[in-house]
């Protein structure tokens, strides 16, 4: 790891968390926690049981006080999480993360009354408060809370669930992270990230070896991973039953502020076009000169694909110049992440795999984690996460409650940023075969974002419904349902081996955010449509796009997308995005 970090220049690309706290021993950290506890108790004492009778000014002030508590808790939680994910083997970091969850649950328990009383308040009184000038900045947030009225329990029940949460679902999620932080693959005892990167190796033997090593490592922990999955499935089943959600995905649709009709239109449009995936992989088999395309061949680079290592400084230059061509403001914000150490890039023992952008809190700054190995995919990943970071940075002026974007729009900026860099990289290639190979790689990335995520959504639907109908699922049953969802997408174009059956077990989204994965497909297809609008409108599109990002979560997705004349319930809209993908495929065919 260290030699590659040195070669790429990422050794010192370590985030600086001082915008949050100096260290676990920072006195301000503990002072902020004490302040949250005291303020939560005071808010409850002055407002609980009488929210409907409060004067408008007092009601507005109570919201501001609660928001400030959430800001401080968010700062503490962000610091604890970011401190942990780069050193998951560190007991002190793990213990502090658990402590913050337990402390937060105590504080949230004190504030449960607000959501309950507000959600169930008489409509006439609620309207009077919503229409008051002092409350206007929080209108969307408050209207959203009232949408949960039919799914809330009593104050005693809600308080108990909040207090138990650190030793319930959250604890199982931490265990999952610890397993993969400690797990080593193959004789060389490599990390998950290193093994997965070998699936993109041009040598078939290397790819096959990586697939076997990944499977062997997963197999060693499969009894624990199966138990974690079943526990999380049961936890959601119970929570949905208590809260009277009609289906396993209803709560996710509600939090995304989407109608079921919209989600169904998206999912059905994508599953109806699995033929695009099958056509592509049939073509790729021919391009690679193979008699049979195995699962570990899916990401094999075409012979003409540029494969040189891209140093960190070169990556920075590629991304910033690509953003600059679209919007200087966007490039300036992205530069802050490089210049002010808001990114963690090197491969490290005990560091969590994958990549993410964390919004932190409005008066700090977002942070980005990547595991940079220097290939062109990683450049796209950096652009993707910087898109998230720019979105979060622009939205912070909306305040804590309104800056948090619904998940389906949270992917918009990241996918758009990735698309900008793809077109820049494509223009830089002069050789026709290189362009073709690079376009194929982009198609595969789009497949991973659209079709693979929808196939995973179908897997989620199967396991949640079967867990509810039949009880705990055996490992073989989970594997069978996984294969069912994957075979529907790949058809006869890809041969899925025995080892592939347990690859559901390392995907964190199923556990951390049930129902989340369709947001990727939503974001990708939305961006393909937005990019077509950009190509048509030119410079006039850019301010509208930046305003969309800056709005954060202050409006629903339907309202935020209204300036672009997009109808999310119309299957033809989603089919339009899928047509762009098919056009790319036809260009290769």
Please report, for the chain, the start and end positions of each structural domain, with discontinuous segments joined by +: 171-304+455-512
Confidence of residue 129 (pLDDT cuts 50, 70, 90): very high
3-state secondary structure 325-394: HHCHHHHHHHHHHHHCCCEECCCCCCCCCCCEEECCCCCCCCEEECCCCCCHHHHHHHHHHHHHHHHHHH
d(CA 520, CA 68): 31
d(CA 355, CA 506): 14
**pLDDT digits over 227-251, tens only?**
999 999 999 999 999 999 999 999 9
Placement of tokens 């796009």 in the chain: 545
Phi first, then psi, for residue 495 (nearest 5°) are: -90, 115
Q: What integer pLDDT is reported at residue 307 of this predicted model? A: 75
Q: Is 80 exceeded by the pLDDT of residue 371? A: yes
Cα angle: 570, vertex 574, 575; to 5 degrees: 105
Instruction: Determine the 3-state secondary structure of 530 from DSSP.
Output: helix
Q: What integer pLDDT is reported at residue 179 of this predicted model? A: 93
Q: What integer pLDDT is reported at residue 549 of this predicted model? A: 95
- Residue 525 structure tokens: 């297809």
Closest CA to 268 of 60, 571, 588: 571
**pLDDT digits over 151-200, tens only?**
988 888 888 888 888 888 889 998 998 999 889 999 999 988 889 989 99
d(CA 440, CA 423): 13
- Residue 495 structure tokens: 């041969």
**pLDDT digits over 266-293, tens only?**
999 999 999 999 999 999 999 999 999 9
Residue 344's contacts (CB-CB under 8 Å, 6 or more residues apart) are 13, 14, 15, 86, 351, 367, 368, 369, 370
Instruction: Determine the 3-state secondary structure of 185 from DSSP.
Output: strand
Ordered DSSP codes for 93-132: HHHHHHHHHHHHHHHHHHHHHHHHHHHTS-HHHHHHHHTS
Query: Would you say 200 and 377 are in contact if contact means Cβ atoms under 8 Å apart?
Result: yes
Give the count of alpha carbons within 13 A of 162, CB side only.
19
Q: Is 80 exceeded by the pLDDT of residue 1? A: no
Give the count of alpha carbons within 13 A of 72, CB side only.
22
| The 356-358 sheet, strands edge to edge | 343-344, 367-369, 356-358
Q: What integer pLDDT is reported at residue 70 of this predicted model? A: 95
| Cα dist from 486 to 454, 458, 497, 503, whole Å | 10, 9, 12, 11
Instruction: Determine the 3-state secondary structure of 400 from DSSP.
Output: helix
Report CA torsion sign: 530, 531, 535, 539: positive
Report CA torsion sign: 165, 170, 172, 178: negative
In this prediction the pTM is 0.85
Confidence of residue 430 (pLDDT cuts 50, 70, 90): confident
Residue 66's contacts (CB-CB under 8 Å, 6 or more residues apart) are 43, 111, 114
Confidence of residue 305 (pLDDT cuts 50, 70, 90): confident
Placement of tokens 């990735």 in the chain: 418
Closest CA to 85 of 206, 163, 226, 193: 193
Query: Would you say 478 and 226 are in contact if contact means Cβ atoms under 8 Å apart?
Result: yes
Q: What integer pLDDT is reported at residue 326 of this predicted model? A: 95
């Amino acid at each position: 790891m260290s030699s590659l970090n040195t070669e790429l220049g990422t050794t010192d690309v370590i985030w600086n968390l001082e915008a949050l706290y100096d260290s676990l021993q920072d006195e301000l950290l503990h002072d902020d926690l004490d302040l949250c506890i005291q303020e939560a108790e005071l808010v409850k004492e002055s407002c609980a049981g009488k929210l409907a009778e409060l004067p408008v000014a007092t009601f507005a002030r109570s919201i501001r006080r609660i928001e400030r508590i959430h800001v401080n808790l968010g700062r503490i939680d962000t610091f604890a999480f970011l401190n942990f994910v780069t050193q998951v083997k560190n007991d002190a970091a793990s213990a502090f993360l658990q402590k913050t969850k337990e402390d937060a649950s105590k504080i949230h328990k004190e504030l449960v009354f607000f959501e309950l009383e507000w959600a169930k308040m008489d409509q006439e009184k609620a309207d009077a408060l919503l229409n008051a000038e002092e409350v206007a900045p929080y209108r969307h947030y408050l209207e959203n809370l009232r949408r949960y009225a039919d799914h809330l329990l009593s104050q005693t029940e809600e308080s108990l669930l909040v207090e138990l949460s650190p030793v319930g679902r959250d604890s199982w999620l931490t265990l999952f992270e610890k397993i993969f932080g400690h797990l080593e693959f193959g004789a060389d005892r490599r990390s998950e990230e290193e093994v997965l990167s070998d699936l993109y190796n041009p040598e078939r033997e290397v790819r096959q070896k990586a697939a076997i090593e990944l499977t062997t490592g997963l197999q060693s922990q499969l009894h624990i991973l199966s138990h974690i999955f079943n526990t999380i499935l049961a936890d959601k089943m119970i929570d949905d039953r208590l809260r009277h959600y009609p289906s396993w995905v209803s709560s996710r649709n509600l939090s995304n502020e989407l109608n079921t009709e919209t989600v169904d239109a998206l999912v059905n449009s994508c599953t109806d076009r699995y033929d695009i995936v099958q056509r592509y992989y049939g073509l790729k088999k021919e391009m690679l000169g193979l008699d049979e395309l195995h699962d570990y061949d899916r990401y094999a680079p075409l012979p003409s694909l540029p494969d040189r290592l891209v140093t960190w400084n070169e990556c920075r230059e590629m991304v910033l110049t690509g953003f600059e061509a679209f919007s200087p403001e966007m490039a300036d914000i992205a530069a802050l992440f490089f210049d002010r150490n808001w990114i963690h890039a090197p491969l490290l023992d005990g560091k969590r795999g994958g990549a993410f952008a964390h919004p932190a809190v409005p008066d700090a700054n977002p942070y980005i984690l990547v595991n940079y190995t220097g290939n062109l995919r990683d450049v796209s990943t950096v652009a993707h996460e910087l898109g998230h970071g720019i979105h979060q940075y622009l939205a912070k002026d909306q305040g804590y409650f309104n800056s948090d974007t619904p998940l389906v729009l949270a992917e918009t900026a990241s996918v758009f940023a990735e698309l900008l860099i793809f077109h820049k990289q494509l223009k830089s290639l002069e050789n026709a075969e290189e362009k073709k190979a690079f376009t194929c790689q982009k198609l595969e990335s789009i497949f991973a974002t659209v079709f693979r995520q929808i196939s995973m959504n179908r897997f989620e639907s199967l396991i949640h419904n079967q867990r509810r109908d039949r009880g705990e699922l055996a490992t073989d049953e989970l594997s069978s349902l996984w294969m069912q969802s994957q075979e529907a997408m790949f058809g006869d174009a890809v041969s899925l081996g025995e080892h592939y059956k347990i690859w559901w077990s390392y995907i964190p989204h199923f556990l951390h955010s049930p129902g989340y994965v369709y947001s990727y497909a939503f974001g990708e297809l939305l961006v393909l449509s937005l990019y077509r609008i950009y190509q048509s409108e030119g410079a006039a599109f850019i301010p509208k796009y930046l305003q969309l990002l800056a709005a954060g979560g202050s409006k629903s997705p339907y309202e935020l997308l209204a300036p672009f004349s997009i109808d999310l319930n119309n299957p033809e809209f989603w089919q339009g995005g899928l047509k762009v993908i098919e056009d790319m495929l036809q260009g290769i065919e």
